Amino acid sequence: MREIFRRFVLAVRQLVKKVSLPKAVPLGAATLLAVAIFKHLSIQLFLLVHLSAVSIAFVLLLPEILAKLMDRPEFAGQIFARRTTVLATLLSTTLTIAFVLVIFYRPWQHEGFTLEAAVITFVQGAFVGGFIRALFVTYLDNTLKGASTEAIEAMLLLAVAVYLLLFPASEQRYILAPSYLAGISAGFLAHFGFRSLTQQIARSVRIRRYILAQLYKPGRKFEARESHAINLFAREQFQELEKLFKKNALQMTTALVLVQAAMYRLQEKYDKALTVIDAELIRCNSIGELMPYLHLQKALCLAELGINVKGMFEELRLVFVVNPGCVLAKSTWALRTAERIPPENSSATDRALLKRALIYARQALWLAQVEDPSLWGGILGLPVPVTWSYLLDIVGYVSLRNGDKTLSKALLEQCLTTDPKFAPPYLHLGEWYLIMSFDRDMDQEARIRNMKLARLSLNIAKALEGDRNSLTKRRAQSLLNDYFGNTQTRLRTT
């Protein structure tokens, strides 16, 4: 007996020596998960409560399983961009199964069911659900940032194992299973709500409130129809706004034209916006106080369309003549200048333009901190939208194009953290990874890894834009075509 025990100890020691700590942790987590699953299926294979527990565990791990099996950036990009849909799927699954268990077992009819026990079980589920979703979000973030995901994967396996082990499936506690699943759903929602607050998802609402506050600020003088148009625009009541424009078609003022063009931009009807702006530029006084905003509106439309780049910069120049401190004009000039210069073999002239773009981007960031945007700046900025993430993204991207790779990545990752549904930072992070892959001193494995992350980032940018045919989406697709045109990953070298 002693000899058998000694051999067993030696075998375990040899196994520990062969398996490094990073590998042992996921192996231990997977083992615990397997034990938890076996515990449920071995008690009574076809009992509804055990099948429900294992089914939910499978759904919780499904996104990671699919991402591993498919190993395609396009698929991973869709999962990343559609995190709300993934959450809705998890919620609907858990709540549906909880409802089925309630109907099937009718827990309130059992003597062992108490409100106190149900609340305790609900709280346990909420903690487990919130923790699992936090791990899922961290896993996606680490994947995109190129950080190791092994520890997160191990913790996710452990969390699902804990979920199974805490699942009330014994003969004395199975009637509490619906409360536990309801708690899991509540944990998902609580974490989602907390992140929504920290990410400032209501930014556009605040911009609209700012527009309305500026509109009714003492000293503002607008005609009644102009005030009404601005009010409707801020509330996005576009049908009523269209009726107002038709009613005043023969008596349009510059203020009304600005609102009309901003509405068309928000609806992605850039040709219509340019038509009304050009007509107003011909009609109105060339030295009017609203003229710079007309030129800025036209520049923003041309920038989004990606046509007539020379005309866009000319319109921005006209804005600078009258208002050299315009945040939107400076940030737009900086971004579009950096985007139009190729990342490889830029000339001395291009490098000088990139330095100027960096100065403008930093000035725009500084001006946004020390000055409140004007009413019209808020209206024109609503379709962008001009937020802190928007400005940091531009500074980060222009810094990258000026060679500051460390600062640029830090700023771009900050944008992803504060506003994960804003597409441009993903586009620019994709370009960051592409530029890193051009480094001749980088080994082949690192270059392939950067190309894979670039492809993932660009696909996320595309997915976040949805059906919008925006410049961000077109640029992401263009880069994907240039560097990943065939089914095999191609490394483009300088």
Backbone angle region of 246, left / alpha / beta, with phi > 0 → left and psi within -120 to 50 → alpha:
alpha
Asked which of 66-80, 142-156, 230-244, 306-320 is least confident by mean pLDDT, the reply is 66-80
Tokens 């996921």 belong to residue: 26
Which helix or strand (DSSP H or E) is residue 172 part of?
none
Instruction: Return the percentage of the chain with pLDDT > 90, whole number.
Output: 20
Average pLDDT, the chain: 80
Nearest-CA neighbor of 274 among 304, 251, 244? 304
Residues 6 or more apart whose CB falls under 8 angstroms from that of 201 comprise 421
Please choose, from the candidates 280, 240, 238, 241, the residue with its C-alpha nearest in 3D space to the C-alpha of residue 258: 280
DSSP state of 373: P
In this structure, which amino acid lies at residue 475? R
Residue 73: CB atoms within 10 Å: 24
- What's the sign of the alpha-carbon dihedral 235, 238, 243, 248? positive
Q: Is it the case that residue 1 has pLDDT exceeding 50?
A: no
Cα distance between residue 420 and residue 464, in whole Å: 9
Segment among 155-159, 245-249, 254-258, 299-303 with least mean pLDDT: 155-159
Helix (H, G, I), strand (E, B) or coil at 323: coil
Band (12; pLDDT cuts 50, 70, 90)? very low
Q: What is the pLDDT of residue 51?
A: 80
Q: How far is CA 308 from the centre of its chain?
A: 30
45 burial level (CB within 10 Å; 0-12, 13-18, 19+): exposed
Structure tokens at 434: 């592409």
Q: How confident is the model at residue 54 (pLDDT cuts 50, 70, 90)?
A: confident
Measured torsion, CA atoms of residues 397, 403, 406, 411, in degrees rounded to the nearest 10: -20
Cα gap 395→411, rounded to integer Å:
8
Nearest to 33 by CA among 124, 156, 158: 158
DSSP category for residue 71: -
Closest to 179 in 3D by CA, of 189, 169, 171: 169
What pLDDT, on a 0 to 100 scale, did the predictor assign at position 445? 83
User: Does residue 375 carry a pLDDT above 90?
Assistant: no
Residues of the chain with CATH 1.25.40.10: 203-422
Summarize pLDDT for 136-173 with one digit per residue, the tens: 888 777 777 777 677 777 888 888 888 888 888 776 77
CATH T-level assignment (fold) for domain 203-422: 1.25.40
d(CA 201, CA 304): 23
The tally of CA atoms less than 13 A away on the side-chain side of residue 476 is: 29
Neighbours of 209 (CB within 10 A): 13
Judged on CB neighbours under 10 Å (0-12, 13-18, 19+), 95 is middle
> Which segment of 9-23, 151-165, 200-214, 330-344 scores lowest on mean pLDDT?
9-23
Question: 115-145 and 150-166 helices cross at what angle (nearest 10)?
Answer: 170
Interior CA angle at 414 toward 69 and 420, to 5°?
A: 50
Does residue 220 surpass a pLDDT of 90? no
- Please state whether the peptide bond connecting residue 343 to the residue before it is cis, i.e. omega within 30 degrees of 0: no
| Per-residue confidence (pLDDT) for residue 215, from 0 to 100 | 66
Confidence check: pLDDT of 201 > 60:
no
Position 19 scores a pLDDT of 43
DSSP state of 487: S
Compute CA distances 195 → 94, 187, 480, whole Å. 21, 12, 31
pLDDT at 381: 64
pLDDT tens readout for residues 469-481: 888 999 999 999 9
